[in-house]
Amino acid sequence: MMLEKIRTALQALEPAFLEVIDESHMHSRGQETHYKAVIVTDHFEGLSKVRRQQAVYAALKDAMPYALAQHTYTPDEWAKAQQAPDSPHCMGGSKHDI
């Protein structure tokens, strides 16, 4: 199952907090396609958003889903935020909608 593959792969970042949610039901491309990951780790300290995303992609390697919304935080950032933003619903545009 893709959800478990993503969770397992992201353990390489040694997260203090990790939440991976299957949001495929919000989109028109079917099952196991869209995910949201909230990752809190010391590894993101001093890294730009782009470098954090690169670290996530490197950890995922072969477990990369069709779409992944990444919310990356250091422990201090997470202490202030306490939650990631909600994901928007799909606006369409898929060939599956035709």
Q: State the chain's mean pLDDT as an integer.
A: 86
Q: In the structure, what pLDDT confidence band is assigned to residue 28 with cuts at 50, 70 and 90?
A: low
pLDDT band at 76; cut points 50, 70, 90: very high
Sheet holding 34-40, edge to edge: 17-22, 34-40, 67-73
* CA atoms of 13 and 23, how far apart (whole Å): 22
pLDDT higher for 14 or 26? 14
Q: What angle do CA 14, 3, 70 make, to 5 degrees?
A: 60
Distance CA 34, CA 19 (A): 14
Domain positions in the chain: 2-81
pLDDT of 16 > 70? The answer is: yes
For 79, how many CA atoms within 13 A lie in the half-sphere containing its CB? 5
pLDDT at 67 over 70: yes
Report, at the CATH architecture level, how domain 2-81 is classified.
2-Layer Sandwich (3.30)
Mean pLDDT of 30-52: 91
